[in-house]
Structure 1
Amino acid sequence: MKKLLLVIIAFLTLGNLHAQEFRIIKGGVTDSLPIPGMSNKTYAFYAPTNYTTHRKWPVVFVFDPKGRGSTTANLFRKAAEEQQYLVASANIDLKAEPIDSIVKTATAMMNSIFSAFPIDPVQVYTAGMGEGAQVASALPLFYKQMAGVMAIGNSFVNREYVDKSNPYMFIAIAGDKDYMVYEMEEYLRFFDDLDFRTDVYYFDGKEDQWPETAVISNAMTGFTLEAIKKGNRVADKDFIQKLYQNEIGYTEQLVRTRNYYEAYEKLDRMEDKYEDFGFEDDIEDRMKELKKTNGYRSQRRDFRQAVTFEKEQQGYYEYTLRTDVMTANFQNIGWWAYQVDELEKLKKSSNEAKSNMAYRLHGYLDFLTKRKFDVIVNSDAPIDIKIFMSVLRTAINKDDPEAYLKIISLAGSDGDYETALLYLEDLLKTGYSNMEALYNIEGTLDLQFTREYNEIIKKYLGESKFYNDGKEPEEN
């Protein structure tokens, strides 16, 4: 369908703002729309092909950790077109902004949309992934009429400030390979205990990863159906039937790829989601057929065994880490490296439950040691414990430069040049190429002027600051 251009001139009433002109592509994503009052802050926007100012629209505000507004808006495009939503996706790098600035920008974006477009105030939703999910989860504190939150891979809940008198729907989405999957289920239990409407979706993915468009579309139906049940949207039978068939199509795809247990669990969740719409018998028949399928029982058994082992292993990792840090047990570094090697092998297993478990355990181990590393290196802990924690981090995550740089700094400050040079080379072997940073490592000023230091850098980067001509560096 040919895309139409719609020019909307909105007189915004936020602060001392002037009239703002928006050129919106109907049926496509318009990027880099300015957020009034926020210097250089923008968002991407999607409006369905049949967008008109003569009716009020549901809207979903989306937050990506890296501020990829246009890319993220396109993930919601299919759902927004089929289910009739406006989408505003922030171009805010959440990793580079303090939380107070992020919230201020997010609320300014929301207010500008409310002023510029005909928004249905009782159909306002937020969605986000990772840090973006934390922002999305926090916004009901500021917009009391929030109808729903879609949190992918993370969330934020301040139990003291959740307004029980203004319940909203909470949809959790987690990757099968994401160690945060159990944390997301804890959030679900929290909202269930408050009698908030909840739903959960899983996809084939890891932490810091958006699900595919089909998963997002299926999840969005949760918001849509809940709005219909509350009378905030028209109960069009043909429309509801289409939503149902789309979601059933996803389960059939799982069956075709022999993911029988995952398909069964999906249908089990759909049974509650589509209650009162007349699909109960069809869902139950499909579930009965799946239980008869060769492979269903073995997949269920594999999944349960993997989860049991995983939770036991998490507890063992936590205990061993505490013990090793207390004693700076360098002799056990090899054991930790072995654990990572075994998890890497298990990731390649043909047993999907075990493979997904390995990804989650490695992610959890990475998270656990990174959290401990951040606490210890910024504390008054003895240098041997700081070095141990840094060395352990390089065993768990071989490509993270932070721990290597810390070891070089600590060893250089302590006069242990041999260790500093060893980890300098290990760092460069990972592909690290920030030469300027290598000559600004705290505690290594004398080391930086040595021939050995510069020759290692030149070996991997092709040049160094000193000794490039074979001569001694001149003293100032």
Structure 2
Amino acid sequence: MKKKQLLFLLSLVCLTSASAQQMVLKKGEIMDSIPVQDSIPSSYSLYLPRDFTTEKKWPLLLVFDMEGKERQAISIFVGPAEKEGYILAAPKVKDTVSLTNNMIVTNNVLEEIVNLLPIQNGRIYTAGASAGGRFAGLVPIFIRGVNGAISMGASLTNTDLLNVRRPFHFIGMVSKNDYNYTTMLDDEKILDRYKFPNQVLLHDAKSAWPEVTYLQKGLQLFTLAAMGRNLIPKDSLYVENAYDEDVAKVNLLKNSGQLIWAEQYMGEMMSMYGAHKNLDSLREVQKELRRDKQFRAMRRAENAAISKEILLKENYQYDMEEDMFAHNFKNLGWWNYQMTELDKFINGSNIHEQEMGHRLIGFLNALAEDNIELVRSGQVIDEDALAFLYMLKTILEPENFEFYLKTISLSAKNEDFGTALFYLEEAFKNGFKDKDKLYSLEDTALLRITPEFNKMVEKYLKDARYDIIEQ
């Protein structure tokens, strides 16, 4: 019988029944929607490595996706989990649910898994990207027994919540084009001060999710730390292979001229291998690189870009709040001008300002979305402030049609058909073609029967649903 077909039976006590039920768990296959019975009903996905056995204890990685895509999120970790020997689980959590409820669900799922499977004490970790990464970084703070977090494209939500008596291992993964880059570097300094084990791994992917090799590296770092804490036997060959891979990475970065990245990675290697090896030779290489004239010039240029970025972020935050609360629609032109200025950075020759430009656009989008949530959460919704922010988002992210549609819907609701038609045409010009979504848009019933609306649909989509009758 093939390994992937092996089944084993484990008893799982059902909380709604006095009798025990049996549950079949499969190796090497993602199992979806495993129920957890509690005051807050929940479920989770689970993956057991192909060589899983109850004869030994296993580390556990809880993977979080806040958009209900837990199977997709867990599948990305399958390869690394097989190579590094981790059980994967993905609790069903949602961004639309309160933090308290999501944390209760996570705790219930964790208790269920620990009671069901042979999980090694001291080796329970979390991981996630973007919103999932922010939540993953909170779990070790609120749930005892969680020992580390991998956060991709998301800095720590609130460093004030950190408890020096309950340190956990934080691994951040971020692109230098991501607006979280500078914040994550600041978090690293705080974690160092609090003596939390931590590493920040840089990558050049365009999304929050890095290449799968980074995910394996994250699990590898947890394993190395467990060896350093004597939670598992030290495997000298494992340590040497990992170290050689990282030395090769440093050399590759140096040879490709990415000297800042190479120096930063050597710094992370100090904490990765400090418990396992004498690192004097690595320190000498790092010191030599820091004395290099080209490196020092690069460092000055990056620091100058970061200083400029800090100032611009402060100005943008102040200006957006002012315009939002003052309903300053006339200032949308100024925001459009700011985007052209950021495009100049992105298209310029200074690599550090290129990265800064990408980070600032990401920051503006995140800030606008945070303000949208702030306005929408008020007891009385300020629809003018909301309209300003929706319009601003069409400038910041012109190919995201969600905010054109929100602007159209809100304008039509207030019978401002002129504004609705303007943003409809802007959406068409940027490539919007989803007729079904357009015709099902909330609060647009009156707009959709106007001749102007149907003429525009006919012009761009060639087929309006309503006849155009002019008198």
User: The TM-score by the shorter chain falls in which range?
Assistant: 0.7 to 0.9
Report the AA paired with residue 139 of structure 1: V
**TM-score, with structure 2 as normaliser:** 0.85
Is residue 458 from structure 1 mapped to residue 462 from structure 2 by the alignment?
Answer: no
Where does residue 58 of structure 2 map in the other structure?
57
Greater displacement, 77-86 / 255-264 = 77-86
2:360 corresponds to: 361
Give ranges in structure 1 of 5+ residues lacking alignment.
Answer: none
Residue 450 of structure 2 aligns to which amino acid in structure 1? T
For 1:178, the equivalent position in structure 2 comes to 178
Counterparts of 1:186 and 1:285 in 2: how far apart (Å)?
25
Corresponding pairs, count: 464
Q: What does 1:342-421 align with in structure 2 at a 5 Å threshold? A: 342-376=341-375, 385-421=385-421
Per-residue deviation at 1:193? 4.3
Residues 362, 119 of structure 1: CA spacing in aligned structure 2 closer, same or farther, 3 A cutoff?
same
- Aligned partner of 2:24 in structure 1 is 21
For 2:223 and 2:262, locate their aligned partners in 1 and report how far apart those are by CA, in whole Å: 22
Alpha carbons of 1:431 and 1:286: their partners in 2 closer, same or farther (altered >3 Å)? same
SS in 2 for 1:18: strand
**What secondary structure does 2:274 align onto?**
coil
Whether the aligned pair in 2 keeps the contact of 1:410 and 1:443 (CA below 8 Å) is yes
Q: 1:342 to 1:9 in 2, by over 3 A?
A: same
Distance 1:131 1:448 in 2: 36
- After superposition, the Cα gap between the structure-2 partners of 1:193 and 1:308, relative to the gap in structure 1 and judged at 3 Å, is same
Residue identity in the other structure for 1:150: I
Task: For 2:23, give the aligned amino acid.
Answer: Q
Aligned equivalent of 2:168 = 168
Distance 1:192 1:14 in 2: 44
- For residue 306 of structure 2, give the secondary structure of its aligned residue in structure 1: helix
Q: Separation in 2 of the partners of 1:30 and 1:382?
A: 45
Distance 1:263 1:117 in 2: 40
Deviation at 1:170, TM superposition (A): 1.9
SS, match of residue 62 in structure 1: strand
- SS of 2:422 mapped into structure 1: helix
Partner of 1:45: 47
Code of the aligned partner of 1:290? L
- Correspondence for 2:216: 217
Alignment of 1:154-303 (within 5 A): 154=154, 164-206=164-206, 209-291=208-290, 295-303=294-302
| Residue identity opposite 2:426 in structure 1 | D
Distance 2:385 2:179 in 1: 27
SS at 1:12's partner residue? strand
Shift of 1:19: 0.9
Q: Which residue is 1:432 aligned to?
A: 432
Q: TM-score by structure 1 length? A: 0.84
User: For the residues of structure 2 that align with 1:316 and 1:95, how far apart are their CA atoms?
Assistant: 29
Q: Would you say the 8 A contact 2:44–2:89 is kept in 1?
A: no
Provide Cα deviations, 1:90-110, integer angstroms capped at 9, x if missing partner: 5x4734655455445433443
Confirm or deny: 8 A CA contact 2:199 2:271 kept in the other structure: no
Stretches of structure 2 that go unaligned for 5 or more consecutive residues are none
With 4-13 and 124-133 compared, the bigger mean Cα shift is at 4-13
**Cα distance, 1:35–1:365 mapped onto 2, change above 3 Å:** same
CA contact (8 A) 2:141 2:162 kept: yes
